[in-house]
Amino acid sequence: MDQEAHERADQIFEAALGKTGAKDPREFYRKRLREMQVTDPDAYKEAVAYYENELVPSIAEAGNDPLTAWQQFGCRMAELTVPGTPIEIDTTGRRRPYAPPTPPDRMVLHIPQGTKGRALVVGLPPELSAAQSATYDLLVAGRQKIQDETDDV
């Protein structure tokens, strides 16, 4: 994939973020990639190949929805990290099946199979509801007590 395609895909994605107010997942995806590079180089190579061969062309050339494309990249990276299932958490805290395109007010988590580790963030809404925040605290951060309204998330 050439640099021009990367730049075009980035511009399209940034325009979609600006238009929708969605949270940019790239920083926590980069962090996960850095971890994968150290802990599982083969998974890292597969994630980078997906980025180059699937994600960028799907946005820059095929015209796919960039938010959904990035979310599917997040799901792929999460699956490469630990086998599991992506789910959506609505504003009431109810678990929903993952069915892209995800409504913008839903949190998307990758839930590991069995008891292997914590949930991985795939996507966050612009603002977490109280129920989503509590779900995040428990499943992602591993906090055992619910934070007060005055505590920072």
Q: With both helix axes pointing from N to C terminus, report the angle between 66-81 and 26-39 in degrees, rounded to the nearest 10.
A: 30
CA distance 123 to 87: 10
pTM: 0.88
Q: What is the pLDDT of residues 88-142, one digit of tens each?
A: 999 999 999 999 999 999 999 999 998 768 999 999 999 999 999 999 999 998 8
Contacts of 116 (CB under 8 A, 6+ apart): 82, 83, 84
pLDDT-based confidence at 38, cuts 50/70/90? very high
Per DSSP, the residues of 84-140 read EEEEEE-TTS-EEE--SSPPTT-EEEEEESTT-S--EEEE--SS--HHHHHHIIIII
CA distance 29 to 6: 16
DSSP 150: T
On the question of pLDDT at 150 being above 60, the answer is no
Chain-centroid distance, C-alpha 79 = 11
